[in-house]
Amino acid sequence: MATISSFSNGFWSKDYATGINTLFERLSLGTQENEQVKTLIKLYKQANEDFGERLQEITKECMKNGNKEETNEDCTSSSKAFEGLRSEIETQGKQHVRISNDLQSLVLRPLSKMSVDHEQKLQTSQYVLTNHTKEYEKKYHIMKKAKSTYYNRCRDVEDLEEEAKREEEQEGSSDLKTSNNQFSSGSSGAYENSESSEQNGPVQLGFMEFKFDELQKVMSQILEELPLQDKRVPILGTYQNTCSGNIIVSWLQENLPVPTLVAAEAFGQDLIAEGFLRQIGQIGVGGTFVNSTNFYYQWKEKAFQVAGLDSHDALVENAKSLPFLGEYLSDYIQYRKQYAMESPLQRAHREAVDANTSYKEAVYDLDKCRTLLEENIVDHFQFLQKCEVERVKYFKNTFMDMSTIISNFLPSMKLLADQIIVYQEIIQPDSDIRYILESSATGPFLPHVEVYEDYYNDIKDQVFGIDMEFLCHRDKKRVPIIVSTILSFLDQLYPTLPSDKVRQQLWLVNSPLSSIHQLREALNYAPNVSKDILVQYSPTVVVGTLKLFLLELPDSIIPSSAFELIRSIYANHGNDEVYRVRLLQNLLSQLRRVNLATLSAIITHLHRLISLTTKETNFVGDLANSLCMCISRPTSWTLSIQHDKHPSRFLEDLLTHGPTLFEELRKLSAAKRASDRGPSTLIAGDKQSASRKASVSSTASAPTSAPYASPRSSLDEARPSVSEAEFTTDNVPSTLLRTSYASNARRGRRNVSQASQVSDTSEFSEQEFKDPSTDDTERGEIWQSFGNQE
């Protein structure tokens, strides 16, 4: 388990607030301790002052009733002794007063100032982090709401599509029935013909008939020449495009051959009947046309459509003239105009697209807020740890100042001063920080990413926080592109670095989280992950980004369900290396293809780095301690597993025996495939393997040698007997190996793809165990030049 050595890596939680509150609750005990020490010193100072003043008072009181003569050499010895004792007591009283004054000026006043400053720093940090946490929670709820809206709109689209399909099926069945019934077909055709002729026939208005083109011309002239206005009706509201009845009658008599008022009123009544006009103030439709200035009529949308005009333009202009809400109303009217003719299915599709856009934006905003929150948490946690160390150091100095003050004035109190020095030496700031972490830590840095989840599983522009199997299926790769690209970039970078120590420190140094988040954002939303992006950042930031990618996975490469299983292996067989490695090989055989290929790429890369660099004493252990949480982590972190060593030991074993383990798994996979193909294919395969071995041996005898040799272990020579227990799925609970995959699968009826289901290790091909970061020839040349440089 990675050692938790600082606040910035010890107080993390899934919701962030729990870890932050736990740390501030623990630091609040420090502020209480400040007040307790300040109160103790204050009371001790007051006691010294009272005692010193009282000693001086009793030396004066004892002279009130005694002999007033001055003491000289001729006085009695008893008088001299009395005067000496009185003088010593008075001197001791003055020293206690001076101790009180020095405690006030040199200890109590600076301690009070430090206590106030320390509390203000804590309050400021808590205020900032609390606000950032609330902002994150707010954006999280916005994202959840946008996601729910998006999913609901997609369900609406599906419902409407299903309803449309049912209607099409019903129409198809009805057409089939009518085709079999001639009488029914004839009657329906006649009905349709009559209906179409009715729509295309002349329109009767008053005592006049108009064809469609004539009606269009008349309606256009009416709507353009009539003075339309807005009419407000109490309670019912404001009506647009209205005019009074007498204005319509006057225009008809002036522009059309309508000789009498009766004919004009009949014309207006037919306009109402045909749906071109309606009387305002009426609940429902229709109304009566009256030639009066008190009766107002509204021209309906149908009239504007027949005339080829747009009623919304007038509405927009009228809305803009309104105070305060004018712009809002005009935008709303234009919006309704834009989508006025769409069908319910089209509207549902449009709303689903809009909801999807809002959901994507909410996820992006949440991710930006999360990364900023994490950066602020790291900065403030480091600042708070520095403040706590300074506070404890100040206590240490306070104890030393008290000892100095007491020992300077009262030699008789030297024992007390020496004891205070002992207490001062007991105070160890690093030990206090370690105690806080061991007793109150909430967990290491394990970021929880909220990713965009498309309703149809079409995720194209995200890399971090996505399951590796989905990434590989999407990109058609065995190893995620970001992993192979970074490893390939580092392969080409190593020969250019000045020393082995610099190469090794790339994996051990922690870069600023803000820089890592910048590269993360550049890679997460880039069209493709390329080395052109990586060269713009420091190599330590690139390595830190790879670690962050592994930490943000929904589950670690070694599933969290196998964490307890690995612990039991090292608890029961920690001293038996051969058998332990064999059990680990059996565990690795249970991994998904993607996980095993990715683990093989990373371990092979690190093993090569270890083999070709200077053998530092603690490099492998430090590297395992730095990466163990990236490879294997528990389902939930508790204080009980804080000091577990098996994750680091597990990674050390992988770094040491990894290439051998992967080679053994490849051989087992090839043998199983050969046995499944049958005897004839097996013989042909043996011949091919023999020819490959011959070519390999001839290549090995050539002058050019391989840049490095993979270590081999004597697993075959030290196999357990048949009676020993085999590490198979029969005696290992399946829940320890597979539940993590199910827990991280997409919930509900939507699955990533049938092609991305868990595959057995037997499906591995020979190439799938190789490091995919670079081509074999290219990698050999790079690492050989690296070795020659060394």
Report the pLDDT averaged over residues 625-647: 80
Higher pLDDT, 460 or 662: 662
Strand partners, 632: 558
Q: Is the separation of the CB atoms in 535 and 610 below 8 Å?
A: no
Q: What are phi and psi of 339, to 5 degrees?
A: -115, 30
Q: Looking at the predicted structure, is the pLDDT value of residue 736 above 60? A: no
Higher pLDDT, 675 or 361: 361
Most confident stretch, 270-274, 315-319, 715-719:
270-274
Neighbours of 762 (CB within 10 A): 14
Write out pLDDT tens, residues 472-507: 888 888 899 899 999 999 988 988 888 888 888 889
Q: Is the residue at 325 inside a domain?
A: no
Q: What are phi and psi of 240, to 5 degrees?
A: -95, 155
* DSSP-assigned letter for residue 412: G
Q: What is the token pair recorded at 278?
A: 């309606």
- For 719, the 3-state DSSP assignment is coil
Query: Both 590 and 517 in a single domain?
Result: yes
**Tokens 């050499």 map to which residue?**
73
Alpha carbon of residue 712 to chain centroid: 42
**Tokens 């109304």 map to which residue?**
287
Confidence of residue 446 (pLDDT cuts 50, 70, 90): confident
Neighbours of 30 (CB within 10 A): 19
Distance CA 204, CA 273 (A): 10
Q: Is the residue at 406 inside a domain?
A: yes
**Tokens 């099409």 map to which residue?**
168
Q: Looking at the predicted structure, is the pLDDT value of residue 712 above 70? A: no
Alpha carbon of residue 356 to chain centroid: 19
Report the pLDDT averaged over residues 520-529: 83
Query: Both 775 and 662 in a single domain?
Result: yes
Upper half-sphere CA count for residue 688 (Cβ side, 13 Å): 8
Report the pLDDT averaged over residues 451-474: 81
Q: What are phi and psi of 730, to 5 degrees?
A: -75, -35
**Tokens 């609330």 map to which residue?**
134
Q: Is the residue at 700 inside a domain?
A: no
Distance CA 303, CA 286 (A): 15
Q: How much is the pLDDT for 179?
A: 52
Write out pLDDT tens, residues 183-211: 334 433 433 443 444 445 688 887 788 88
Distance CA 308, CA 739 (A): 66
Q: Looking at the predicted structure, is the pLDDT value of residue 332 above 80? A: no
Q: What residues make up the domain containing 657?
A: 468-635+649-692+729-789
Q: Is the residue at 707 inside a domain?
A: no
**Tokens 């065995």 map to which residue?**
478
Percent of the chain surpassing pLDDT 70: 72
Q: Looking at the predicted structure, is the pLDDT value of residue 288 above 60? A: yes
* DSSP-assigned letter for residue 11: B
Strand partners, 85: none
Query: Both 511 and 377 in a single domain?
Result: no
Q: Which of 412, 600, 613, 639 is nearest to 501 (CA)?
A: 613
Most confident stretch, 79-83, 194-198, 256-260, 536-540:
536-540
Alpha carbon of residue 700 to chain centroid: 50
Distance CA 573, CA 580 (A): 6
CA distances for 287 relative to 64, 271, 276, 733, angstroms: 121, 11, 12, 81
Q: Where are the extended beta strands (E) located within 255-318?
A: 277-279, 296-299
Query: Both 550 and 671 in a single domain?
Result: yes
Q: Is the residue at 724 inside a domain?
A: no
Distance CA 543, CA 503 (A): 11
Q: Looking at the predicted structure, is the pLDDT value of residue 769 above 90? A: no
Distance CA 261, CA 267 (A): 10
Q: Is the separation of the CB atoms in 482 and 523 below 8 Å?
A: yes
Q: Is the residue at 461 inside a domain?
A: no
Percent of the chain surpassing pLDDT 90: 9
Report the pLDDT averaged over residues 557-561: 87
Q: Give every strand in the sheet of 296-299, ordered side by side.
A: 229-233, 237-244, 296-299, 277-279
Q: Is the residue at 604 inside a domain?
A: yes
Q: Is the residue at 777 inside a domain?
A: yes
Q: What is the token pair recorded at 662?
A: 């992967």
Strand partners, 558: 632
Distance CA 604, CA 784 (A): 16
Query: Both 276 and 154 in a single domain?
Result: no
Query: Both 287 and 363 in a single domain?
Result: no
Write out pLDDT tens, residues 387-400: 888 888 888 888 88
Report the pLDDT averaged over residues 363-382: 90
Q: Which of 41-50, 420-429, 445-454, 531-540 has the lowest mean pLDDT?
A: 420-429
Confidence of residue 124 (pLDDT cuts 50, 70, 90): very high
Q: How much is the pLDDT for 522?
A: 87
Distance CA 352, CA 155 (A): 9
CA distances for 139 relative to 135, 363, 505, 785, angstroms: 6, 9, 38, 51
3-state helix, strand, coil in the chain (%, to 5): 70, 5, 30
DSSP string, 655-675: HHHHHHHHHHHHHHHHHHHHH
Q: Is the separation of the CB atoms in 371 and 94 below 8 Å?
A: no
Identity at 388, one-letter amino acid code: E
* Domain total of the chain: 3
Please identify, among 309, 341, 371, the residue that sits at the C-terminal boundary of a domain.
309
Q: Is the separation of the CB atoms in 587 and 565 below 8 Å?
A: yes
Query: Both 519 and 427 in a single domain?
Result: no
CATH of the domain at 783: 1.10.555.10
Q: How much is the pLDDT for 141?
A: 93
Report the pLDDT averaged over residues 207-235: 83
Average pLDDT, the chain: 75
* Pure H helices in 326-462: 326-338, 344-409, 414-426, 429-440
CATH of the domain at 254: 1.10.10.10
Query: Both 570 and 506 in a single domain?
Result: yes
Confidence of residue 145 (pLDDT cuts 50, 70, 90): very high
Query: Both 661 and 750 in a single domain?
Result: yes
Report the pLDDT averaged over residues 761-771: 40
Q: Looking at the predicted structure, is the pLDDT value of residue 547 above 80? A: yes
Q: How much is the pLDDT for 546?
A: 92
Query: Both 89 and 127 in a single domain?
Result: yes
Report the pLDDT averaged over residues 576-597: 86
Neighbours of 679 (CB within 10 A): 9
Q: Which residues make Cβ contacts (< 8 Å) with residue 424, sequence separation at least 6?
A: 396, 399, 400, 403
Upper half-sphere CA count for residue 552 (Cβ side, 13 Å): 22
Alpha carbon of residue 552 to chain centroid: 8
Q: How much is the pLDDT for 341?
A: 60
Label residue 709 left, alpha or beta by phi (over 0 means left) and psi (-120 to 50 means alpha): beta
CATH of the domain at 45: 1.20.1270.60
- This prediction has a pTM of 0.60
- For 278, the 3-state DSSP assignment is strand
Q: Looking at the predicted structure, is the pLDDT value of residue 680 above 70? A: no
Neighbours of 535 (CB within 10 A): 12
Report the pLDDT averaged over residues 87-110: 85
Q: Burial level of 396, CB count in 10 A (0-12/13-18/19+)?
A: middle
Q: What is the token pair recorded at 201?
A: 């026939």
Report the pLDDT averaged over residues 571-588: 84
Q: Output the CA torsion 670→676→680→684 (10° steps).
A: -10
Q: Which of 356, 397, 296, 300 is nearest to 154 (CA)?
A: 356
Q: Which of 171-180, 266-275, 360-369, 739-748 has the lowest mean pLDDT?
A: 739-748
Query: What is the helix (H) or strand (E) element at residue 157, kind and residue range?
Result: helix 109-180
Q: Which of 589, 590, 583 is nearest to 568 (CA)?
A: 583
Q: How much is the pLDDT for 323?
A: 52
Strand partners, 299: 277
Query: Both 288 and 145 in a single domain?
Result: no
Query: Both 739 and 599 in a single domain?
Result: yes
Alpha carbon of residue 1 to chain centroid: 23
Identity at 161, one-letter amino acid code: E
Higher pLDDT, 616 or 646: 646
Distance CA 391, CA 111 (A): 10
Report the pLDDT averaged over residues 29-48: 90
Neighbours of 249 (CB within 10 A): 21
Q: What are phi and psi of 445, to 5 degrees?
A: -75, 105
